[in-house]
A and B are shown apart, each in its own frame.
Chain A
Amino acid sequence: MRCGGVCVKMALSRTCSRLWRTCTPVLPRHPALLQAAVRLQSSVRGAPAPALPPVAKTSLSQPPWASAPSPVSLEEEQRQSAAVVAAVNSVICGQDYGRLFAVVHFAGRQWKVTDEDLILVENHIEAECGDCIRLEKVLLVGAQDFTLVGRPLLTKELVHVEATVVEKTESRPKVHMRFTRRKRFQRKKILIQPQTVLRINSVRLAPALT
């Protein structure tokens, strides 16, 4: 009796799957029923249910994107980041990092800056020669063994970049000329831009990191 029942169910399942593959609109009832039938069989029989027939690998048997890497659990991630932060903190508190470089946003441009650097800015700056200036918009600070990336900026309490205005001059005369042939049109203009030279005195990191 039991064998007969199983055979009937197997035949039914085979026909069901064949039917489902041939007709394009997916009928939601059949696969659910099939799975339910398989599960019921295994629970009733106490033996592993017969495996589905081997399926050929088609273009739709796997999703087209690469399989996601095994996700690291949240606790593991937090532990790793805490370890990294602790290591960086110890290096910073020990004050033994050597020369620091910083990426500073100033006068509409971003500059990669270290100690004793000279910067030529094609602008007029409201500061006299010899004035000390603090550059506040710091995007990134790095040393030999670590980098601090701001998102987008680093706090003012963390980084201190100081510069002095060395000279305020004008650029060399540049010629702006326009000319259209055969139309007797030409215009010539001489452009002289104000320039400022800054000397970066120091890039310092405060020994306080959260």
Chain B
Amino acid sequence: MVFLTLSCWIRSRGPDRYWKVQEVLKNARHFRGRKNRCYKLAVRMVRRAFVYATKARKLKKRNMRTLWISRIAAASREHGMKYPALMHNLVKSSVQLNRHVISDLAITEPRSFLSLAKLARARQQEGFRAALGDGKEPPGVLSRVAFLQ
């Protein structure tokens, strides 16, 4: 080694290690244990946290939709209808409200939700009437049901 003076002996490293470390630790300050203080542990945990947040942003949309659906199902059962019947008949009546808004109406505007349920029920009965027709078999067909009535 040929360091003849002190100033040549000292290595000069990067100037901003402290700030880079703080940038990572600030995202870990609310963690529990040593991983909120020690960089080596914090780096791994912060990376996991970011990856979980990224994935959860997609899951949140799915979970919210499931929540809305279960709320609408519960509210429609209070009015004597089931969720698939309600939604299918609303779609057939060309009402294009999404599940978010229908669940909000079920919570905050019960009378409007009741009106939607009645609309769906009327459309359902109309569909049944159209399917059943007169209650008679088509001409030329004889069956036990028609015979015994």
Contacts and interface: CB of A to CB of B under 8 A. Distances in A.
A28 interface: yes
B111 A147 contact: yes
Contacts of B111: 142, 147
B112 A147 contact: yes
Contacts of B148: 55, 61
B95 A152 contact: yes
B7 interface: no
Given A28-B142, A61-B148, A63-B145, A110 B101 contact: yes
Interface stretch (B9-17, B31-39, B74-82, B128-136): B128-136
A28 B137 CA distance: 14
A68 interface: yes
Q: Is the interface of B mostly helix, strand, loop or mixed?
A: helix
Contact of B115 (A28, A55, A149): A149
B2 interface: no
A26 B98 contact: no
Interface in B92-120: 93-98, 100-101, 104-105, 108-109, 111-112, 115-116, 119
A152 B50 contact: no
A188 B50 contact: yes
A179 B51 contact: yes
B100 to A, nearest CB: 6
Contacts of B125: 68-69
Given A28-B142, A177-B54, A178-B51, A151 B115 contact: no
A31 B147 contact: yes
B115 A68 contact: no
Contacts of A177: 47, 50-51, 53-54
A152 B54 contact: no
A55 B147 CA distance: 11
A101 B96 contact: no
B142 A140 contact: no
A103 B129 contact: no
B104 A112 contact: yes
Contacts of A188: 50
A139 interface: yes
Given A61-B145, A149-B115, A178-B51, A68 B96 contact: no
27 contacts: A26-B143, A26-B144, A31-B147, A32-B142, A55-B148, A61-B145, A63-B145, A68-B129, A68-B135, A101-B109, A110-B98, A110-B100, A111-B101, A140-B97, A140-B101, A140-B112, A142-B112, A147-B112, A147-B115, A151-B94, A151-B95, A152-B94, A152-B96, A174-B53, A174-B57, A178-B51, A188-B50
Interface of B: 47-48, 50-51, 53-54, 57, 93-98, 100-101, 104-105, 108-109, 111-112, 115-116, 119, 125, 128-129, 132, 135, 142-145, 147-148
Pairs A-B, 8 closest by C-beta atoms: A177-B50, A152-B96, A147-B112, A151-B94, A175-B50, A142-B112, A110-B101, A147-B115
